[in-house]
Amino acid sequence: MTWSNATKYLLAKIARTAHITREDAGCQELFKTTHPGVYIFNFSNLCYNLGMENAIEIAKHLGFDATSAKPFGSGHINDTFKVVTSSGPVILQKINTDIFKDADGMMDNIKKVSDYLSSIGKTTYKVLAYEKPWRVLSFIDGAHSVDVIEDPAQAFTAGAAFGAFQNDLANFKASDLIETIPKFHNTLWRLEELDTAAKADKLDRLKNVEAEMSFVDKYRSQAGKVLKLMDEGEIPVRITHNDTKINNVMLDDETGDAIAVVDLDTVMPGCALYDFGDMVRTATASAAEDEKDLSKVYSKIEYFEALVKGYLSQAKFLNEAEVENLVFSGILITFTIGIRFLADYLAGDVYFKTDYDDHNLVRARTQFKMIESIEDQRSEFERIVQESV
């Protein structure tokens, strides 16, 4: 039987979710050389492996009387399950140790930060168990998150939540935390990675991304601007979240208020602007990160206004150079994430989880479209910042 690409990707995704290889899922490519793309598929094998036995067994092994487990959330890196136990739900996660190479160091960071946040009365999740690569986190009840922002009030809430998060950690000693992923938001280094992937062009995909590579070229000269300001001491190192996607704010089911900021994996010394930039990328976006119809993708000015006002209501510590670069940070981080998606597309989808063949390319395109949209409205955005400080 011949499987379409979509089916193959679905099987690969299912297999990955259940922590089994595609082969274990019963999907085997036959006669790779003579019949490429011909797959056999063992349904009972797949059903067995898909029973979430793995997640349940692992939760039990970690001391939880798990009765059911299902995939949870929309993260691109770790595998996440909501596991039901007799004393309520918990989150079980398999840490991607190819990416979080020092998982112990990362868990240490998370423990220090979450203990500190609890000590000052903030809600956060607790690490209930950890045995590399698995961890169990407390489940934040009565709250949800959104992948695409729904109204300006949510943008205000998210901005205020991340602003408060940075504020709360303002007195936390940077030297107490390791740099979980070195050079994480270093745009110049991300460009080097893109160039390396383009040069190797492993899957012969470079020919598909001429327009995107030209777009990248237009921004190369601006890529080091914030790094330079940091080197010169104009912009300080602060403890930052580093993954301030809108879906990392837990919203109260009843009131819509922010209950907690989650995903503390990349909390480390960084730059406040990178957090704000990632909020602009996700909390002003009109559509999903992987929307294929680019006419639906743009940055919404009313969301930007609410976001800035929310953020500045809490982030009172910003200096002049930081305020001056708030709008630019939206462009810079959207560019940085865009080139990371593009580099991963060229490298063969080895970093971000993908659901179909050109998923990373689709994501890169939405990022570049967002940049164009921010540029189109740049003077308005700058005016909003000036009026909001």
- Cα Rg of the chain, angstroms: 21
Examine residue 263 and tell whether it contacts Mg ion (CB under 5 A): yes
Q: What are phi and psi of 102, to 5 degrees?
A: -105, 75
Residue among 188, 195, 212, 153 nearest 367 (CA): 212
**What's at 227, amino acid-wise?**
L
Residue 337 interacts with, from Mg ion, ligand GN1, none (CB under 5-8 Å by kind): ligand GN1
**Shortest Å distance, C-beta 103 to ligand GN1:** 12
CB 184 within 8 A of CB 336: no
Examine residue 278 and tell whether it contacts Mg ion (CB under 5 A): no
Examine residue 337 and tell whether it contacts ligand GN1 (CB under 6 A): yes
Examine residue 243 and tell whether it contacts Mg ion (CB under 5 A): yes
* Angle (CA) 319 325 331, round 5°: 150
CB 343 within 8 A of CB 206: no
Q: Using CB atoms within 10 A of its CB, is residue 44 exposed (0-12), middle (13-18) or buried (19+)?
A: exposed
- C-alpha neighbours within 13 Å on the C-beta side of residue 327: 21
Q: Site for ligand GN1 (CB under 6 A): which residue of 109, 124, 266, 377?
A: 266
Interactions with ligand GN1, residue window 282-321 (CB under 6 A):
289
**Shortest Å distance, C-beta 198 to Mg ion:** 26
Pick the piece of the chain touching Mg ion (CB under 5 A) from 13-21, 22-30, 238-246, 368-376: 238-246
**Shortest Å distance, C-beta 297 to ligand GN1:** 14
Examine residue 263 and tell whether it contacts ligand GN1 (CB under 6 A): yes
Examine residue 243 and tell whether it contacts ligand GN1 (CB under 6 A): yes
Q: What are phi and psi of 79, to 5 degrees?
A: -100, 130
- Alpha-carbon dihedral sign for residues 91, 94, 96, 101: positive
Examine residue 75 and tell whether it contacts ligand GN1 (CB under 6 A): yes
Smaller CB distance to Mg ion: residue 14 or 99?
99
Strand partners of residue 72: none
Smaller CB distance to Mg ion: residue 243 or 291?
243
Pick the piece of the chain touching ligand GN1 (CB under 6 A) from 69-77, 105-113, 223-231, 377-385: 69-77
Pick the piece of the chain touching ligand GN1 (CB under 6 A) from 73-81, 112-120, 297-305, 315-323: 73-81
Examine residue 77 and tell whether it contacts ligand GN1 (CB under 6 A): yes
Query: What are the strands of the beta sheet with 143-144, ordered from one edge?
Result: 143-144, 249-252, 258-261
Smaller CB distance to ligand GN1: residue 124 or 266?
266
SS3 of 139, please? Answer: coil
Site residues for ligand GN1 per CB under 6 A = 75-77, 99, 243, 245, 263, 266, 289, 337
